[in-house]
Amino acid sequence: MAYNSARAAKAHHVQRPPAEPVGVDRAARRGLTAPPPLAPALLSNPCIHGRGNGAVQTAAIQQRQQTLGNRATRRLLQRRAAPGTAGPQTTPPAAEALALRPAPVQRAAAPVVIQRRIHWKAERALDYAIERGAGVDYTHAKGTFEQTAWLSESNQGDLTHLRTKAEKQKRVHDEAVTDRLELTRAMLLVAYVRNLRGELVMLDEPSMKNKRAAETRAYNETIKVRDNLKGWGLLRGGVISPELAKEMQEADPNNLVTPDAEVNVGPRIEIRGTSVPAGILAKLKKVRLHSFIVYTQADGVQRFIAAHANTDYGDEQTPSPLIATAALYRPGVHEWDPGAEKRVLENREEGTADKWELMAAAAEGLNARFLSYNALKRNCNTAAAYILQTAGVNNIAPPGGQYIGWGNDL
């Protein structure tokens, strides 16, 4: 029994390696880091320059070269040799020659230079568009990102970020949406480069500070386009809205999305609500109090009618008349708002195609009356309801919520 117990104890005995001394770095022992920097202390010790210490001095200088480089080591030797410093006043010829001699190449300890380059998502999107026949603007955009080292790589990544992981999972197998998004990323990058070039041309002094500011302005302008695209339904499959098609054409007339896309055309009449464009209420950016009419033609072209207090037409008796404006609905106007409240009043109904002319005539008649603007009783909402009713539009109702003045008599 005693013999078996002794064999069992011997079999389970683990031979552990001897403990490492305190202060020894395992990574240094394995050769992953440089040894402790002893060179500064040795070089500042006067005794090292005595006879018989040439090998130690040489090793100390080499270690200093490997740690800080040739220039720093040379400056150290020069300071030590300068008057008023401790140690010998002259540099031994052997040490000076060694300091001037290039240090052995230490690739593992060489500094890593991080240079900005094209973001991998940007490169993927541009290559995707180029393979599908995109124009030279896409090739130039890729070259700009690759060759301009000061451009922010993170900005490129932000511009190409179109959906979250959850949104991606909803349509992970929708190849049409995937194709649209990749071409849209490339289009945004082209628009970004175009905006950037426009900003750089306006610079009086092309300093790095001014170029950074120009890059920020171009980025902000392009990121607004990206957000508008998402707001107009970029992530939805199927037909696209006329607003989405127009936003893409404004960003890049030669984009590869709109030529093959099916657009949800009219004739259609909508009433929409967004923030107030001017006055005290204009400070409430997220409050929808300003209603306007949007008309979509059968070919997808959109027009809108909106009324405002216009002092340019005022006189002494009526300084702020209520003036309705009819124009093309496009990016750049105040009413171009993807987040606006919407209500479809007529959609491809009989007679809808003829009602734009009737609404435009009603707006002209309103302007001819030269009515004084009143924020609570006679405003944009009052004018919108009046124009719709005069043109005989069906299902007249505000976009939603509380629109002050809606339905008041003019």
Q: What is the enclosing helix (H) or strand (E) of 255?
A: none
Query: Up-side HSE of residue 216: CA atoms within 13 Å toward CB?
Result: 6
| End residue of a domain, out of 200, 228, 259 | 259
Give 42-81 pLDDT, tens digit per residue. 555 666 556 566 676 777 777 766 655 665 666 667 666 6
Instruction: Tokens for 141, please give them.
Output: 């955009």
Number of domains in the chain: 3
Residue 301 CA to residue 268 CA, distance in Å, equals 11
Residue 12 CA to residue 56 CA, distance in Å, equals 48
Q: Is 127 in the same domain as 212? A: yes
Q: Which residues of the chain have pLDDT under 50?
A: 1-35, 37-39, 85-89, 95, 98-99, 112-115
Domain span including residue 337: 266-391
Give Cα 294 to chain centroid, integer Å. 30
Residue 129 CA to residue 355 CA, distance in Å, equals 41
Q: What is the enclosing helix (H) or strand (E) of 242?
A: helix 242-251
DSSP 119: -
Indicate whether 63 belongs to any domain: yes
Indicate whether 147 belongs to any domain: yes
Instruction: Check residue 388 and give its pLDDT.
Output: 97
Residue 225 CA to residue 200 CA, distance in Å, equals 20
Q: Is 129 in the same domain as 241? A: yes
| End residue of a domain, out of 77, 104, 131 | 104
Q: Is 271 in the same domain as 238? A: no
Q: What is the enclosing helix (H) or strand (E) of 192?
A: helix 175-201
